[in-house]
């Protein structure tokens, strides 16, 4: 019987539990044994109770739970070869050579490194006497498939990551709450949202809530942004709007790489010689990551989880490692490392203030 293992790694995101459920049940449905690795790579390195066989009923109720019920962690040991060697040993002892990982670009990079190194890790386990030739014989190759779990929607090659629509929904709900009190007092609110290098959450939240002004990392404002923002907000107030909402992505920068902070924006809006608005700052923080997943993320995680099991069973030593994407509403398989590489290059270009190049790169479609 083929054994398929699943783990969640890196930052958690709503919808990860739907992916666990889908993978476990699809693996069982296809006649495999399903395993979960608890606590991300830490579970692989520590082994023991952190690698558990899962039955159909073990994942009952998972669709409506937030976060990840099998835990996630950052694992320093997995960055180093000795950690990965122990991980390989634990996998072989449990009879696992098919692994599906749901995480961000870091977790997926680690997974690919592990797969590439696998043959040499197996060799070392034998040469050091850790395992016998007979023990490792059936495990000469490791198949892995990635699922992208992230609220940031920051991975190239997929239209949506598992969790991004839940985070967006949560942000919109919070902005609605803030708007009510802002309107009552005729106040301005500067709201910081998550997203790392990616402005997707901030931009979409701006569109969905009708914010007055939005700052994102990918498209910094012109140097006169201070006048521009004040002018627009003044106009909105003139038209009778009793509330002002400015959304800032946590990675927002000006054209010269300087961070745009909520305090800077607040001081401008509150300036007695200018708009003189009663202004407050709200940093939404981890409420964006928590809570239950919206229907879209449950659906995405389920469809992608099903496809991930099929893909990991299809994989051969010759096939390129893939991750499961959604492209123009279709569930697709895409080359994992091209997507990770492009994501990291885009982030680097943004850091170097090469915004046009970054956006052009993000728009290109790498081939399957």
Instruction: Give least dist CB 113 to ligand ADP, A.
Output: 5
Residue closer to ligand ADP (CB basis): 10 or 199: 10
Residue closer to ligand ADP (CB basis): 24 or 75: 75
Establish if 165 lies at the interface with ligand ADP (CB under 6 A). no
What gap in Å lies between CA 295 and CA 15, rounded to an integer?
9
Torsion angle defined by CA atoms of residues 290, 77, 54 and 143, in that order, rounded to the nearest 10 degrees: 110
Q: How many residues does the chain have?
A: 368
As annotated, the binding site for Mg(2+) includes 105
Residue closer to ligand ADP (CB basis): 191 or 336: 336
- 278's tokens: 């009663």
Establish if 75 lies at the interface with ligand ADP (CB under 6 A). yes
What gap in Å lies between CA 325 and CA 194, rounded to an integer?
22
Instruction: Give least dist CB 329 to ligand ADP, A.
Output: 25
Instruction: Please confirm, yes or no, whether 58 is among the known catalytic residues.
Output: no
Residue closer to ligand ADP (CB basis): 110 or 217: 110
Catalytic residue among 152, 154, 212, 297: 152
Strand order in the sheet with 188-193: 213-215, 244-249, 188-193, 279-283
Establish if 10 lies at the interface with ligand ADP (CB under 6 A). yes
What gap in Å lies between CA 130 and CA 136, rounded to an integer?
10
DSSP-based three-state secondary structure for 281: strand
- Helices 164-185 and 295-314: crossing angle in degrees, nearest 10, is 160
Instruction: Give least dist CB 326 to ligand ADP, A.
Output: 19
In terms of DSSP bridges, do strands 33-37 and 51-54 run parallel, antiparallel, or are they unpaired? antiparallel
Residue closer to ligand ADP (CB basis): 101 or 175: 101
As annotated, the binding site includes 11, 74-75, 104-107, 150-152, 187, 194-196, 250, 280, 286-289
List binders of ligand ADP among 76-105 (CB under 6 A): 78-79, 103-105
Cα Dmax for the chain = 80
- 180's tokens: 């009510």
Closest residue to ligand ADP in the complex (CB): 106
What gap in Å lies between CA 157 and CA 342, rounded to an integer?
9
CA atoms within 13 A on the CB side of 356: 0
Establish if 41 lies at the interface with ligand ADP (CB under 6 A). yes
List binders of ligand ADP among 103-132 (CB under 6 A): 103-107, 109-110, 113
Q: Which positions lie near ligand ADP, rule CB under 6 A?
A: 9-11, 41, 74-75, 78-79, 103-107, 109-110, 113
| Residues designated catalytic | 152
């Amino acid at each position: 019987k083929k054994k398929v293992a699943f783990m969640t790694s890196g930052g958690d995101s709503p919808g990860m539990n739907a992916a666990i459920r889908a993978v476990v049940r699809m693996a069982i449905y296809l006649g495999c044994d399903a395993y979960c690795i608890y606590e991300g790579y830490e579970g692989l390195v520590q082994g023991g109770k952190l690698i558990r066989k899962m039955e159909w009923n073990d994942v009952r109720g998972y669709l409506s739970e937030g976060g990840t019920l099998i835990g996630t962690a950052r694992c320093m040991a997995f960055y180093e070869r000795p950690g990965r060697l122990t991980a390989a040993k634990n996998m072989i002892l449990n009879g696992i050579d098919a692994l599906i990982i749901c995480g961000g670009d870091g977790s997926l990079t680690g997974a690919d490194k592990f797969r590439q190194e696998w043959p040499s890790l197996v060799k070392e386990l034998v040469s050091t006497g850790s395992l016998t030739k007979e023990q490792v014989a059936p495990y000469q190759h490791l198949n892995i498939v990635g699922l992208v779990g992230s609220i940031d929607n920051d991975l190239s090659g997929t239209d949506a990551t598992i969790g991004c629509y839940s985070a967006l929904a949560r942000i919109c709900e919070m902005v609605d709450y803030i708007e009510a009190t802002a309107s009552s007092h005729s106040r301005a609110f500067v709201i910081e949202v998550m997203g790392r290098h990616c402005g997707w959450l901030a931009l979409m939240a701006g569109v969905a809530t009708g914010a007055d002004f939005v700052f994102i990392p990918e498209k910094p404002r012109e140097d006169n942004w201070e006048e521009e923002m004040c002018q627009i907000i003044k106009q909105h107030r003139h038209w009778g709007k009793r509330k002002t909402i400015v959304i800032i992505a946590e990675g927002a920068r000006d054209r010269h790489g300087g961070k745009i902070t909520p305090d800077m924006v607040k001081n401008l809006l509150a300036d007695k010689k200018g708009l003189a608005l009663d202004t407050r700052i709200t940093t939404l923080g981890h409420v964006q990551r928590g809570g239950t997943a919206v229907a879209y993320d449950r659906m995405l995680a389920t469809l992608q989880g099903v496809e991930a099991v099929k893909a990991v069973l299809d994989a051969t030593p010759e096939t390129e490692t893939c991750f499961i994407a959604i492209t123009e509403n279709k569930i697709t398989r895409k080359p994992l490392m091209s997507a990770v590489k492009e994501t990291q290059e885009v982030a680097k270009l943004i850091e170097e203030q090469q915004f046009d190049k970054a956006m052009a790169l993000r728009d290109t479609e790498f081939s399957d």
